[in-house]
Amino acid sequence: MEDGRRTLGDTHPNTLTSINDLARLFETQGKLDDAEPLFREAASGARKTLGDAHPTTVALLRNFYVLLQKMGKV
């Protein structure tokens, strides 16, 4: 992921998707505390880069919300 960040930048949609994928891996492993900041970063970056209505942003926000539900934070 670091090479992708260096090449594409922190807010490129492909980078954000990779961050989200890593967060989902942590989530499936039960590492919810490790997943949370990654989901937050991916969702925040997508909102800034793509806008709130973009399908990728909506998907990343949904993933983050589902995690927060699992953690009992919403």
Span 7-16, pLDDT tens digits: 899 999 999 9
Rg from Cα positions in the chain = 12
> What DSSP assignment string belongs to 12-44?
SHHHHHHHHHHHHHHHHTT-HHHHHHHHHHHHH
Domains annotated for the chain, with CATH where assigned, are 2-70 (1.25.40)
With b for 16 or more beta-carbon neighbours within 10 A and e for fewer, the 34-52 pattern comes to ebbebbbbbbbbbbebbee
Structure token pair of residue 50: 């793509």
Query: What number is the average pLDDT over the span 47-59?
Result: 97
pTM above 0.75, yes or no: yes
CA 39 to chain centre: 3
